[in-house]
């Protein structure tokens, strides 16, 4: 039996897509955050990475149950529209457009600033790193808007490069380091308070992006079988790579050194293992990896307002956002709007980092935490389908939603104990979400202009 015309992606492609989306800046950028939360305990750090993997595996399996029941493209907003209602889809679209995508875009661009300054030996602080982030974000928006083919090519080219630093440094640390030493004082390290769980928000950042893979569910061959497989295999691959890197860098450099080096630990380890020249080469790979992550976020983000505007009542001034530049075949107005919102979040990120308002965390972790909360509705819908007898498997209809919900609870709890500003920003996310829902409900009876 031949495949359907729109089924173009194999299981392997689905797996590599998820791995490529998840691996970016997080593991290089957040290792010190995890160790800070665990009071230097490598063992507890490993537990956090495993918990994070469990959260996305069961979350992915649950959402995949919805993905297998529709042939419409669009990913998470489409599932909202199909299984919850257009009001929820509008709310999710507002949250992604005004909070999630722009906050994530700038924070990851900011990481480029950190590693670029290290590569060239520039003495910079938060302001300088933000400035480099602004420059790359601007360039990335420009070429994705005016030359989308180049944006797609850049995304493909950076996919393999992403895993090179993880494999090399993970191998070096495990072979020539002393991993066992990191667990020698486990008993003393684990006597700290339960606040170590707050490190899971940093781990969630490292894994973030898995939900995007569901947007191609309708194009995967035998999607009902292969998408769930991909959503199990890919996170396990990412977990293996992350653990090898985290254990290697933590036991080789030591927790105190990593906390002192903050986000430059990857360069410090590479320099000690490979020398100055090759350490800079590793850093180049890391920078390209992070650039690929930014590119991927922008690639999807610039089309968000356009996609919402096509739904008419979901967005104000819909005709302006729906406008396509005929020469470029791109929704340029949509891209301009996303760029402006990203710069606003860039300013917020600068203020929170420069004045230490979020400690060792950043605004993107809060946006990710909020997105997990909003996923709960999908988990509930799958459970309802099981109760109706439409989902036959007890594992998929009950166990997966329950464990996915537990994962959400861990992420939310870890975020909330991080400080009062987490609550404030979560509140802002909730307000944006609610406004998006109310706007649609108040304008649902109006025909698109």
pLDDT for 190 equals: 47
Quick check: helix, strand or coil at residue 325? strand
389 membership: H or E segment, kind and range:
none
The Cβ of residue 5 has, within 10 Å, a number of other Cβ atoms equal to 6
Please count the other Cβ atoms lying within 10 Å of the Cβ belonging to residue 236: 12
Per-residue pLDDT at 55: 85
Nearest residue to 295 (alpha-carbon basis) of 128, 140, 157: 140
Output the CA torsion 178→184→185→189 (10° steps): 70
pLDDT, position 193 = 54
Model pLDDT for residues 95-118, shown as the tens digit of each residue: 999 999 999 999 999 999 998 998
The pTM of this model reads: 0.84
- Give the mean pLDDT per block of 10 residues along the chain (449 residues): 55 76 71 79 86 87 85 76 91 93 93 92 93 96 85 70 78 70 51 69 79 66 80 86 84 74 73 79 86 83 85 80 86 94 97 86 86 93 95 93 93 77 86 93 63
CA distances from 70 to 21, 264, 308, 309 (A): 23, 44, 19, 21
Task: Report the alpha-carbon distance of residue 130 to residue 126 in Å, rounded.
Answer: 6
What is the structure's pLDDT at 161? Answer: 76
How far apart CA 383 and CA 198 sit, in angstroms, is 28
Q: What is the pLDDT of residue 444?
A: 67
- Domains of the chain in start order, with CATH, are 11-443 (1.20.1740.10)
For position 264, what pLDDT does the model report? Answer: 72
**How many Å apart are CA 8 and CA 73, to the nearest integer?**
14
Distance CA 67, CA 63 (A): 6
């Amino acid at each position: 039996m031949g495949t359907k015309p729109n089924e173009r992606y194999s299981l392997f492609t689905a797996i590599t897509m998820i791995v490529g989306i998840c691996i970016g800046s997080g593991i290089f950028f957040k290792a010190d955050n995890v160790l800070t939360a665990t009071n230097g305990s490598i063992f507890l750090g490993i537990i956090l990475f495993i918990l994070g993997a469990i959260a996305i595996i069961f979350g992915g399996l649950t959402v995949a149950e919805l993905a297998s029941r529709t042939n419409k493209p669009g990913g998470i907003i489409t599932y909202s529209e199909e299984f919850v209602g257009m009001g929820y889809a509008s709310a999710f679209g507002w949250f992604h457009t005004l909070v999630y995508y722009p906050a994530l875009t700038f924070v990851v661009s900011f990481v480029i600033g950190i590693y670029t300054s290290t590569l060239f030996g520039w003495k910079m602080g938060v302001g300088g790193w933000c400035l480099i982030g602004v420059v790359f974000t601007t360039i990335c928006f420009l070429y994705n808007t005016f030359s989308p083919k180049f944006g797609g090519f850049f995304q493909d080219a950076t996919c393999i490069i992403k895993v090179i630093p993880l494999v090399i440094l993970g191998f070096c640390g495990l072979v020539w380091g002393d991993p066992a030493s990191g667990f020698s004082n486990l008993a003393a390290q684990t006597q700290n308070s339960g606040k170590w769980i707050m490190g899971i928000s940093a781990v969630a950042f490292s894994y973030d992006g898995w939900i995007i893979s569901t947007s191609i569910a309708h194009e995967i061959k035998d999607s009902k079988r292969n998408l769930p497989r991909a959503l199990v295999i890919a996170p396990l691959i990412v977990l293996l790579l992350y653990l090898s890197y985290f254990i290697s860098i933590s036991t080789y450099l030591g927790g105190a050194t990593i906390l002192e080096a903050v986000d430059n630990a990857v360069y410090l380890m590479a320099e000690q293992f490979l020398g100055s020249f090759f350490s800079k080469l590793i850093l180049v790979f890391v920078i390209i990896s992070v650039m690929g992550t930014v590119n991927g976020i922008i690639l999807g983000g610039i089309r968000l307002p356009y996609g919402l505007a096509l739904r008419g009542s979901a967005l104000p001034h819909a005709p302006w956002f729906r406008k396509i530049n005929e020469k470029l075949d791109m929704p340029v107005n949509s891209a301009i709007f996303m760029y402006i919102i990203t710069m606003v979040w860039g300013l917020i990120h600068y203020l929170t980092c420069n004045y230490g308002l979020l400690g060792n965390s950043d605004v993107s972790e809060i946006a990710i935490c909020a997105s997990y909360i909003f996923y709960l509705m999908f988990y509930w819908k799958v459970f309802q389908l099981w109760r109706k007898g439409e989902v036959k498997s007890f594992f998929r209809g009950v166990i997966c939603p329950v464990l996915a919900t537990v994962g959400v609870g861990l992420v939310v709890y870890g975020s909330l104990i991080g400080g009062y500003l987490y609550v404030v920003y979560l509140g802002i996310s909730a307000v944006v979400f609610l406004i998006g829902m109310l706007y649609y409900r108040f304008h649902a009876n109006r025909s698109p202009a």
